[in-house]
Amino acid sequence: MSNWDQLLVMKSKLLLMLKPYPPLLRRPAYPPLPKPREALEILIKELLELGVIRKVGHNEEAEITTQVIVAWHNGKYRMVGDFRALKSYTVPHRYPIPEIQIALTQIFQEVYISTMDALKGFNKNVVTPRERKYFRIIVHCGVYGYLRIPFGIKNAPSHFQRMMNKVFPEKLSEGWFIIYIDEIIVFSNNWEEHIYKLSRIWNKIQSVKMKISLKKCHFVFKELKALGNVVPGSSLGIDKNKVTEVLLKTIPQNKKEIQSFLGFAGYYRQHIEDFASMARPLYKLCDRGRVFEITVERVKAS
């Protein structure tokens, strides 16, 4: 048994259903630069040792091969599969993920809040033998196949949500606990009650051999960031880092940039007075067939 097998939760398996797709979704490997190349080789070796991926033999079918990007994230290199082509042919799995705004209303006016994140959550889910041919990646040193669900797969979030809901059904029904994919949020009105609830969650986590990312844990706070919002006990606020990020952006130059800006702004619309009237000029700019043109009115709206 590999080290990674011990992190599996209920040995949950994702079944992938595809629409008819072209006979070839085969891509060549991206040619990495020297530093990312070295980092990629280290990452591949680590995933092989953990049992997350395996080397695909030269005589095995490689109908689908996905390119890999090596990205610099939070001070270290990260391997990301470019699964956009596979996503476009994947039939959506309809399982409800909590509405963030509704979830936030549950936390509103609670005194103590704690959050935890499942460690490498998606990698705890098994790729069935039938689906393995869809999860092959190609790099400069060969073709590898995922044995665990990689990040970036369509339906992986809803599948993981279903798995987590099965692990903690009674806590969810009691209404003091929220699961948003791999994020666990516990809230209470007093200290003793909060510690008791955390102990119940921790006992369950240990019983199913789930691993938690300690770097992302925050225990017994009166104010912290959860679900993209700052959540104090008496009100809901916007994450200041998100606001700063938007303020540093230049004026949108095309429809895609406008849509990206509106997506962020719409997420926080409850905090923006007269949002609908302010954003109307930008929404009009996204109408099909409308010529993209920046005016003073639209600059003010952005």
pLDDT digits (tens, 9 = 90+) for 217-270: 889 888 777 777 677 554 455 556 666 666 666 777 777 787 777 777 766 666
CA-wise closest residue to 107 among 231, 240, 269:
231
Structural domain of residue 65, as residue ranges? 4-92+122-146
Listed ranges 111-125, 130-144, 246-260; the one with the highest mean pLDDT? 130-144
Question: In this predicted structure, what is the pLDDT of residue 192?
Answer: 92
Query: Do residues 138 and 203 share a domain?
Result: no
Average pLDDT on 90-114 reads 82
Tell me whether residue 245 is in a domain.
yes
Instruction: Assess whether pLDDT exceeds 80 at residue 67.
Output: no
Asked if 212 and 87 sit in the same domain, the reply is: no
Flag whether 152 is in a domain.
no
Number of domains in the chain: 3
Q: Residues 20, 82: one domain?
A: yes
pTM over 0.85: no
Structure tokens, 111: 């005194």
pLDDT at position 47 over 60: yes
142 and 50 housed in the same domain: yes
Q: Do 127 and 70 share a structural domain? A: yes
Q: Are residues 190 and 231 in the same domain?
A: yes
Distance CA 222, CA 128 (A): 43
Please, which pLDDT band fits residue 200 given cuts at 50, 70 and 90? very high
Question: What pLDDT digit, counting tens, does each position of 174-198 carry?
Answer: 788 889 988 999 988 889 999 999 9
Same domain assignment for residues 243 and 201: no
Q: Please report, rounded to a whole number, the percentage of residues in the chain having pLDDT higher than 90.
A: 10
Which single residue is written with the structure tokens 């600059």? Answer: 299
Which helix (DSSP H) or strand (DSSP E) does residue 267 occupy? Answer: helix 255-267
d(CA 35, CA 70): 10
**Closest residue by Cα to residue 150 from 166, 126, 118:** 126
Of these ranges, 1-5, 174-178, 190-194, 207-211, the one predicted with the greatest mean pLDDT is: 190-194
Task: Specify whether 126 is located in the same domain as 115.
Answer: no
CATH code (residue 222): 3.30.70.270
Is the distance from CB of 200 to CB of 194 less than 8 angstroms? Answer: no
Mean pLDDT of 285-293: 73
Please check the confidence at residue 45 and state whether its pLDDT lies above 60: yes
Per-residue pLDDT averaged across 285-299, rounded? 68
Dump strand ranges (E) for 102-245: 112-117, 126-127, 136-139, 142-146, 177-180, 183-188, 218-221, 223-226, 229-232, 237-238
Of the three residues 192, 215, 236, the one that is the final residue of a domain is: 236
Q: Does 282 lie in the same domain as 210?
A: no
Lowest pLDDT segment from 26-35, 81-90, 159-168:
26-35
- Answer yes or no: is 162 within a domain: no
Mean pLDDT score of the chain, rounded to an integer?
78
